[in-house]
Structure 1
Amino acid sequence: MRAATIAWALGLAITTAQAAPLTLHRGVGVHEWLNWSPINADGSYVWPPYRSEKEWLAGSRPLSDWPGGEEFARIESMGFDFVRLSVDPGPLVASHGKQRQEALEVLSNAVKRVTSSGLNVVFDLHGVSQVPAYSMALIQDGADTEGVARYREMVKDVAQMLVEVSTDKVALEPYNEPAYYPCNSGGSDDWQRIMAATVRDIRSVSNSLTIVATGACGGSIAGLVNLDPDFDDQNIYYSFHMYEPHSFTHQRSDKPNGFSSGLPWPASSGTPGSVAARLEARMDVAGLSPAEKRSNLAEARGVIDKYFQENWGQSQLDVSFQKVVGWAREHGIPSERLFMGEFGVILMSADGRMGAFDADRLRYISAVRRLAEQFHIPWSVWEFSNPYGMSVILPAGPALPDGELLKALALRRP
């Protein structure tokens, strides 16, 4: 019996040592399907939770706009090899026992639906705010809180469900853009403790399930390079989201009748004066009053001036990637186990209120994609389909892929 036990332990050690992460290269986020789970009038989740595939596709356009057939097969035909599948953890945290198992069964079937099309899945627990009690505020009060304990217990159940689906096709990303700040060593060690403990939780379920770990500070590069991967094993990816500079990738205003758009990429291809003049022209077309125009221009000028003063372009992108690759090298982690889990640029809206011109957007996306591939970093573009300007599928009309965006991603139109 003792000899058998030793042999089993040695076999486990060998299996763990030889473990390698799920193969990922080029992915796309699917966010609108299993996030924002339907809720009742009293704010509770409709049960069983989550939308059907048809409800997702019809969420922002008529279902008749879609071409029909297998949508995930179409994603695969574009050249993507995985989907980063966003899932609201709220219904899972809110439920227990048999009810939670019902929710997990819904999600298990969804994952199998995607993998049956030949795609791998990064199962992204992606908290949203529609039910405040189960938003990511649940985990923001420190590593030793009841909220974190409840969330970690839920993650173990998700890990078990995914193991039963297939560790050869699925990875688990337990947190999306955790908001522990500041983004340097001056902060507390709460996020370090939470991430390390969650890795241990998942490993108590499976050594073969690939984990996508992340730093704090919104999942940024700054957050990742402040993470100590003292929990590392060969079956972990390390995520960062690439929205640098945010002033370019997310051009929009939160003001009523706000306009914030038109910064060029790279900055050297334009001037502050030309950006302001074109912005003012778009406001004229929209019929803004002189007072509204003055207010918008006053807000925009600070952003415009800073962007051009920093002269954003290829060299700054190079520095950003060197930071994350340098962090990986320092910790003995190959760049192939980094994971650019999100990147993208808001496309200018039809009314000109937000976003970048298409040519600038495409230049940025191509540059970021090329840098990731230079370092053999798998990537996932944000996202497959939405009406908000970051979308592989054109945001209005027949649900066709954006052919120019696919070219920038070195993919193909099916």
Structure 2
Amino acid sequence: MLLLTLPLVAVPSVAQPIALHRGVGLHDWLNWSPLTKDKTYRWPPYRSVEEWQSGERPLSDWPKGDPFKKIYLLGFDFVRLTVDPGPLLDSEGQRRQQALDVLSRAIDRLTKVGLKVVFNLHGVSQVPAYDMDILYNGADSEGVARYRSMVKAVATMLARHGADKVAFEPYNEPAYYPCDASGTDDWQRIMASTVADIREIDRRMTIIVTGACGGSITGLTNLDPNFDDENIYYSFHMYEPHSFTHQKADWTNGFFSGFPWPANTGSPETVIEGLRVHMLAEGLNSLQQAANIARLKSEINEYFKEGSNAATLKARIGEAVDWAKRYNIPPQRLFMGEFGVMRMSTDGRSGAYDADRLAYLQTVRQIAEGHGIPWSVWEYSNPHGMSVIEPRGPAVPDKPMLQALGLSVPQ
């Protein structure tokens, strides 16, 4: 009876973003929405699961069962679902609603198996009228206004799925430069306005904010989070040093591979010798070999001069952590939205050796986790070098990569 006479005290609820820990990019399914012969979007847009699975390999390479359940069973708690915004920009009214319904069903399929979804609008260039140049004429441009209007329509759809299941990342790697804060305030204004737009739709939805300069750490630390609330994550992508993570030649008969990590585990001479072995095996003559080495010489020397190792990666990610602390943002509300390393191709033309690739992935992952930063590795299925499942043949997991990511390894 005494308890009944005590005054009731309201206990405030603590706002927080959706809980994210370990995720993977799911890119080719809903990106690059299929085109008709006249280069317009097929309608309704986006690929079916079967079209995605058979796009780069025979459908028979995939094991039976729900492919998304298999992602969950590997230990991922969310997917970063990248979505082509082109069809949404190219439609209004009922036609846009058709596209949103397709995307809504895709989210249902993922959440049904226990995965949370980071819904990322991820612009591509296949239809020039709707590539990301639409954003780059300034914060007050017609293109930005059109994109923001589309974002509000997407937010309305996402809100129906629940703030405990879906987060919204409205931009990917925006290309506002320079990265030394000496440019305009356009990206600051675009990002702040977009947050306000989404908050008009839903106060609880988790928003993932990104800085400019390709979504890099430098772009994030140039941002002023004066629009912050407790349901926001702040994204950065970690592909540094880029000369290690993206070893791929863009010239005819090009070879760009074999950079070691940490850098002090090799030398310019060992890299050049490895390149010669691969080029010889592929039948390049001495002149072609010399031309490749000459093109890479300065990049090789610069890589070893920079001397990337665990300490330099820790310091770089530490810049994002320090930025967050400066604005009283818990580091746990940072979001490492992409990281990865191209694996060595079978012909040795591109990529890193496995030992170096795995050491880098494990180190970056452990640094992020040490600060409580959730992460999403790039990506689940990719024939071009960064892939959680094997890029060729049966679609089975890359077990050493799973180990480096601290995930479940199927027996």
* TM band (smaller chain): over 0.9
C-alpha distance after superposition, 1:259-308 (max 9, x if no partner): 10000010110011011111111111111133321211011111110010
| 1:145 match | 141
Maintained 8 Å contact 1:16/1:208: no
Counterpart AA for 1:61: R
- Give the letter aligned to residue 355 of structure 2: A
Aligned with 1:92 (options 84, 88, 92): 88
Superposed counterparts of 1:71-150, under 5 Å: 71-150=67-146
SS at match of 1:268: helix
Q: CA deviation at 1:310?
A: 0.9
Q: 360, 368, 374: which one pairs with 1:372?
A: 368
Distance, in Å, in 2 between the alignment partners of 1:135 and 1:390 is 24
The residue aligned with 1:57 is 53
Partner of 2:174: helix, strand, or coil?
coil
Question: Which residue does the alignment assign to 2:261?
Answer: 265
Of 350, 358, 364 in structure 2, the residue corresponding to residue 354 of structure 1 is 350
Q: Normalised by the size of structure 2, how large is the TM-score?
A: 0.96
Identity %: 60
Give the residue type in structure 2 aligned to 1:356.
Answer: A
What letter corresponds to residue 100 of structure 1 in structure 2? Answer: R
Helix, strand or coil at the partner of 2:383: coil
Is the CA contact (8 Å cut-off) linking 1:88 and 1:125 kept in structure 2?
A: yes
Identify the residue that residue 68 of structure 1 maps to in structure 2: 64
Give the equivalent residue in structure 2 for 1:33. 29
List alignment gaps of at least 5 residues for structure 2.
1-9
Question: What's the C-alpha RMSD, in Å, of the aligned pairs?
Answer: 1.2
Which of 399, 405, 410 is equivalent to 1:403?
399
The residue identity in structure 1 corresponding to 2:383 is: P
Q: Does 1:190 align with 2:186?
A: yes
The equivalent of 2:3 in structure 1 is none
The aligned residue for residue 235 of structure 1 is: 231
Please give the alpha-carbon distance, in whole angstroms, between the structure 2 residues aligned to 1:324 and 1:334. Answer: 11
2:180 alignment partner, SS class: coil
Cα-to-partner distance string for 1:62-100 (whole Å, 9 max, x where unaligned): 000000101111111000000000000000001000000
Q: Secondary structure at the match of 2:72?
A: helix
Partner of residue 16 from structure 2, selected from 12, 16, 20: 20
For 1:140 and 1:284, the matched residues in 2 are separated by 45
Residues in 1 aligned to 2:158 and 2:210: alpha-carbon distance in whole angstroms? 19
Residue of structure 2 equivalent to 1:222: 218
2:306 corresponds to: 310
The residue matched to 1:34 in structure 2 has which SS?
coil
Looking at structure 2, the residues matched to 69 and 337 of structure 1 have their Cα atoms a distance apart, in angstroms, of: 34
C-alpha displacement at 1:356, in angstroms?
A: 0.2
Cα distance between partner residues in 2 of 1:368 and 1:288:
36
Cα distance in 2 for partners of 1:265, 1:377 equals 23
Contact 1:253 1:354 in 2 (8 A): yes
SS in 1 for 2:28: strand
Tell me the secondary structure at the aligned position of residue 348 of structure 1: coil
Q: Counterpart of 1:389 in 2: which secondary structure?
A: coil
Q: Counterparts of 2:266 and 2:176 in 1: how far apart (Å)?
A: 36
Letter in 1 for 2:141: T
Structure 1 counterpart SS, 2:358: helix
SS of structure 1 residue aligned to 2:145: helix
1:19 is matched by which residue type in structure 2?
A: A
Question: Which amino acid counterpart does residue 341 of structure 2 have in structure 1?
Answer: V
Cα 1:395–1:147 change in 2 (3 A) is: same
SS at match of 2:214: coil
C-alpha change, 1:17 and 1:333, in structure 2 (3 Å) is farther
Give 3-state SS (helix, strand or coil) of 1:410's partner: coil
For residues 286 and 185 of structure 2, what CA distance do their matches in structure 1 show?
A: 50
The CA distance in 1 between the partners of 2:266 and 2:340, in whole Å, is: 21
Distance 2:117 2:169 in 1: 10
Whether contact under 8 Å (1:16, 1:207) holds in the other structure is no
Could you tell me which residue of structure 1 aligns to residue 285 of structure 2? 289
Question: Is the partner of 2:199 in helix, strand or coil?
Answer: helix
In structure 1, list runs of 5 or more residues that go unmatched: 1-13
**In structure 2, distance between residues paired with 1:389 and 1:67:** 21
Residue 292 of structure 1 aligns to a residue whose secondary structure is helix
**How far apart in 2 are the matches of 1:411 and 1:191?**
36
For the 8 Å contact 1:171–1:211, the answer to whether it is kept is yes
Is residue 2:39 matched to residue 1:43?
yes
Structure 2 Cα separation of the partners of residues 279 and 87 of structure 1 = 37
Q: CA deviation at 1:15?
A: 11
Q: Quote how far apart the aligned CAs of 1:16 are.
A: 10
Taking the TM superposition and a 5 Å limit, the aligned residue runs for 1:330-349 are 330-349=326-345
CA–CA distance in 2 between the matches of 1:192 and 1:116?
36
Amino acid at match of 2:236: F
C-alpha distance in structure 2 between counterparts of 1:299 and 1:222, whole Å: 28
Aligned twin of 1:179: 175
